[in-house]
Chain A
Amino acid sequence: MNSAFKKMMCRFLAVALITLPFQTGQASMISTDQVSSAATVQANRSLVLNHLNRAQTVSEFQALGLDAQQARDRVAAMTDEEVGNLAGQINAVPAGGDGLVALILVVFFIWYFAFRR
């Protein structure tokens, strides 16, 4: 992590600690999220980590050419787990793009000379 990122992160955390609703209060209903993730204690512990991962992923998206709003919207649509897996990995995971289906000869030969199914 470079120092600009660290600085950004510290500012984010300071604001987050003050303003973010760490205890989401919808009366006293136990949320569906809490029920599906049985490890509630674990979930609380990783709350801060989630915010970190989200902030990091947003800034990585921006570095890849998205504007700030787009980057935030995209990360918002991901689950904590998804963001956790993506953070720091954006340049390592597959990005499907090329559609010129250059199905290479070797693959063709498998089918042509051996079998189709």
Chain B
Amino acid sequence: MPRRRHRSRALVSPRRPAWEQGARLVAGVLLLLAGLGGCASLVPQTMALREAWPAGVARSSENTTVPFFPQQDYQCGPAALATVLVAGGVDLSPDDLVKSVYLPARQGSLQVEMLAAPRRYGRVSYPLAPRFDALLQEVAAGNPVVVLQDTGVGPLVNWHYAVVVGFDYPAGELYLRSGETRRLALPFTVFEYTWKRGGYWAMVALPPERIPVSADPAGYLAAVAAMERVAAPQAALLAYASALRRWPDNATAGIGLANRQYAQGALAQAEATLRQTLALHPDAVPVLNNLAQVLSDLGRNDEALALLDRALRVDAGPFAAAVRETQALVRQRMGRSR
């Protein structure tokens, strides 16, 4: 691997000549340490990329359409979040996010709030797996990624949020919207060094019809359920529908979509969704129970009872109580209609 000696414009300090003497000494010490401890322990994931580039990911990619909001004071959290939300079509400014993610006494923003805030705007916050391949996959797909960096050194800690918008592996650089710099170029090694100390934390916040390419179904559906608590119902419906398109055999996605349709009063649609799910999961008790409820609401109590009997024949597990409740309700309705 050729060792490159490019200078990064963003990093060169005007005082460079003054410390260059000492720099060689420090570098010598560093190389020695690296030799002793192994570079691998300093930036293990960058080392791993040398061995194997993630399959199916372009070697370079950049989404130049991602907007830039220069941060004010300590508010890199609102700025980074506004960057990804506006890129995803939400109309807001960093100031709108200060009240939901900035903590005055901490002069910063917590990770949990960075995840929580986009939900109010109907965006699905998804924490990425703590790996370069997940980050690179998302960026290559054009999804800007919020990362937490520690730009301090040794005992000094300096947490900072930035947004990765691109990378160029042959040049060895990642591109970030960071602080007051529209396009900060960081070498992979330096980026990993700063990213590692926050446990490789990264997140995307995407519109419900756009699922993160690196998402796993369980994690994504949990993220949608988290959004469902506070977002407009339509956003959750769209997200479940997208999830079902991406993972057609996922029962939770089917139940989620049907529940939203049921809540909207779209009973026929809910029935169709649940029947599709049931065809793939004939013993899924929640599907049997919910379909029975839908059919009962449609006035088809006999069909509903048959489904509930079927649910009770298989081991209903934690849902047994719910099934019996539905059964009682259906019987009551039947009694009334006679």
User: Which residues of A does B touch, CB under 8 Å?
Assistant: 26-36, 38-41, 61, 63-66, 70, 73-74, 76-79, 82, 85-86, 90-91, 93-117
Contact = CB atoms under 8 A, between A and B. Distances in A.
Contact of B8 (A85, A94, A105, A111): A111
20 contacts: A27-B293, A30-B322, A32-B252, A32-B255, A32-B256, A39-B318, A66-B104, A77-B230, A78-B112, A82-B112, A94-B110, A95-B107, A96-B114, A97-B77, A99-B178, A109-B23, A114-B30, A115-B4, A115-B39, A117-B49
Given A28-B329, A74-B113, A77-B119, A96 B77 contact: yes
A28 B325 contact: yes
A70 B101 CA distance: 10
Interface stretch (B85-93, B137-145, B208-216, B219-227): B219-227
A102 B193 CA distance: 14
Given A32-B228, A66-B103, A78 B189 contact: no
B290 interface: yes
Interface residues of B, number: 106
Contacts of A34: 286, 318-319, 322
A97 B4 contact: no
Nearest to A102: B151
A20 to B, nearest CB: 15
Given A29-B290, A115-B3, A108 B190 contact: yes
A91 B107 CA distance: 11
B76 A78 contact: no
The residue among A26, A40, A102, A108 with the most chain B CB atoms within 10 A of its own CB is A108
A70 to B, nearest CB: 6
Given A64-B106, A82-B112, A102-B151, A117 B189 contact: yes
Interface residues of B, dominant DSSP: helix
A102 B194 CA distance: 11
Given A28-B325, A33-B225, 4 more contacts: A77-B116, A107-B193, A109-B26, A114-B3
A78 to B, nearest CB: 5
A40 B49 CA distance: 41
B198 interface: yes
B62 to A, nearest CB: 16
Contacts of A108: 11, 190
A91 B106 contact: yes
Nearest to A42: B318
A23 B60 CA distance: 52
Contacts of B295: none
A6 to B, nearest CB: 23
B322 A77 contact: no
Contacts of B109: 95-97
B256 to A, nearest CB: 4
Given A30-B290, A40-B319, A105-B23, A95 B326 contact: no
B5 interface: yes
Contacts of B180: 99
Which 3 pairs, one residue from A and one from B, show the smallest C-beta to C-beta distance?
A97-B108, A95-B108, A116-B172
B245 interface: no
B117 A77 contact: yes
A112 B181 CA distance: 21
Given A28-B325, A32-B255, A101 B181 contact: yes
Nearest to A111: B187
A50 to B, nearest CB: 12
Nearest to B284: A35
Nearest to A93: B110
The residue among A35, A39, A40, A96 with the most chain B CB atoms within 10 A of its own CB is A96
B285 to A, nearest CB: 8
Given A116-B4, A117-B172, A97 B187 contact: no
Contacts of B63: none
A76 B229 contact: yes
